[in-house]
Amino acid sequence: MQELDPHQIVRLEEDGPRVVLLDQRRLPDEEVDLACATAADVAEAIRTLAIRGAPAIGIAAAYALALTALRGDDLAEAERELAASRPTAVNLFWALAQMRADPTPERARALHRDEVDRCRRMSAHATELFAPGTRALTHCNAGGLATGGYGSAVGALRAAWERGLLVSVLVDETRPLLQGARLTAWELETVGIPHAVIADSAAASMMARGEVDLVVTGADRIAANGDTANKIGTYSLAVLATHHGIPLYIVAPSSTVDLATATGAEIPIEERDGAEISTRFTARNPAFDITPAELIAAIVTEHGVHRPPYAESLAPAGGEAPPIRHIPGDGMDNASPSMPSPGGEAPPIRHPGDGMDNASPSRPSPGALA
Ligand code: MRU
């Protein structure tokens, strides 16, 4: 099988015009494209998880704004609709802010290309956390499907595998929508990394049996103090990992770092339809949880490996633009494009010996977009 090209995951076709994305709801059984003719269609695709994963949601929204401009539709209305699609991943609001001044196909494609490039750079940094013979555990899907190409946590696994540091991966199935069992397992199979899907509830005993050396996940939003929102169940893994003396690492691009949010308590958590859990009984369905910073051994961005205290070490990784503050129904009034980024332009972290000049601006990556 061939690695997914970024264009296969999501793209803008100008001679439609339309946004076309690989429908992740149908994977791994079928590889089917979903064509979106309007920004409202893209918002619906995001809401229903046809495309999901924090950076991929942002990229899809960027293409949706470019589509809106090509069609001559109302950009403010499109932005409102997209911003209301999912609340937790800050990449969505980051991407909308990035597109506001220049809602063109070129800008959206550059944003996509940059996210894939960030993934490759952060994944290379993350390999310094892997010792030879590592057996990893991951949760949800933080692969190319979730980032528009290459992946964050799965990117780190790929980079470690390529360097001969990784032996195998335990993949949490990730209840209730099985992003791990359906998407991560499929991606690992595609690139030939040995893996086994486990029930989420098996993680504790796997750790107790000494079968896990580290846990690595992506993130939907990282607060200034390092508290991290990610797929529901990540917090449980962090508690388990701490109990067993196993490090938990977060790998995410700077577009996921939200320095304007002080702590995890301020991160909005999406509560999805209870019918995804049970159609027979009343059900609660929080889609994300917050892992407190003290349970995270390191956070890796394209700038390098950030260690506690995160309030200091994350500062250079603040998103390049301030996220839009989203309150459903507020008409985006609280969006403030001129709000200064708390991350500022601080110098990036350097890691001698990793072969990465992480001070350089975005470079074209092997999977670069045309
Ligand atoms: O509900 P989802 O599938 O969008 O949740 C995705 C996750 O929680 C991922 O771990 C996160 O977005 C990081 S993706 C690189």
Number of the ligand 1 atom closest to the C-alpha atom of 217: 10
Q: Say how many Å lie between the CA of residue 49 and the centre of ligand 1.
A: 10
Ligand 1 in reach of 86 Cβ (< 6 A): no
Q: Say how many Å lie between the CA of residue 145 and the centre of ligand 1.
A: 10
Q: Backbone dihedral region of 192: left (phi > 0), alpha (psi from -120 to 50 degrees) or beta? A: left
Ligand 1 in reach of 147 Cβ (< 6 A): yes
Q: Say how many Å lie between the CA of residue 54 and the centre of ligand 1.
A: 5
Q: Name the residue of 115, 141, 267 whose CB sits within 8 Å of the most ligand 1 atoms, as the mutation to test its pocket.
A: 141
Q: In the 3-class helix/strand/coil scheme, how is the chain assigned residue by residue?
A: CCCCCHHHHEEEECCCCEEEEECCCCCCCCCCEEEECCHHHHHHHHHCCCCCCHHHHHHHHHHHHHHHHHHCCCHHHHHHHHHCCCCCCHHHHHHHHHHHCCCCHHHHHHHHHHHHHHHHHHHHHHHHHCCCCEEEEECCCCEHHHHCCCECHHHHHHHHHHCCCEEEEEEECCCCCCHHHHHHHHHHHHHCCCEEEECHHHHHHHHHCCCCCEEEECCCEEECCCCEEEECCHHHHHHHHHHCCCCEEEECCHHHEECCCCCHHHCCCCECCHHHCCCCCCCCCECEEEECHHHCCEEEECCEEECCCHHHHCHHHCCCCCCCCCCCCCCCCCCCCCCCCCCCCCCCCCCCCCCCCCCCCCCCCCCCCC
* Domain extents in the chain: 6-116, 119-337
Which residues contact residue 152 at a Cβ distance below 8 angstroms, ignoring those fewer than 6 apart? 55, 119, 122, 123, 142, 146, 218, 219, 251, 252, 253
Ligand 1 in reach of 152 Cβ (< 6 A): yes
Ligand 1 in reach of 220 Cβ (< 6 A): yes
pLDDT for the residue numbered 359: 29
Catalytic residues: 220
Q: Say how many Å lie between the CA of residue 121 and the centre of ligand 1.
A: 19
User: Token match 């010792």: residue?
Assistant: 131
CATH class of 6-116: mainly alpha
Ligand 1 in reach of 218 Cβ (< 6 A): yes
Nearest CA to ligand 1 atom 10: 218
Query: Strand pairing partners for 171?
Result: 138, 197
Render each residue's pLDDT in the chain as its tens digit; 370 residues: 567 899 999 999 999 999 999 999 999 999 999 999 999 999 999 999 999 999 999 999 999 999 999 999 999 999 999 999 999 999 999 999 999 999 999 999 999 999 999 999 999 999 999 999 999 999 999 999 999 999 999 999 999 999 999 999 999 999 999 999 999 999 999 999 999 999 999 999 999 999 999 999 999 999 999 999 999 999 999 999 999 999 999 999 999 999 999 999 999 999 999 999 999 999 999 999 999 999 999 999 999 999 999 999 999 887 554 444 443 433 333 333 222 232 332 333 333 332 222 323 222 232 233 2
pLDDT for the residue numbered 319: 56
| pTM for this prediction | 0.88
pLDDT for the residue numbered 133: 98
- 119-337 folds as Rossmann fold (3.40.50)
Number of the ligand 1 atom closest to the C-alpha atom of 57: 4
Q: Say how many Å lie between the CA of residue 330 and the centre of ligand 1.
A: 25
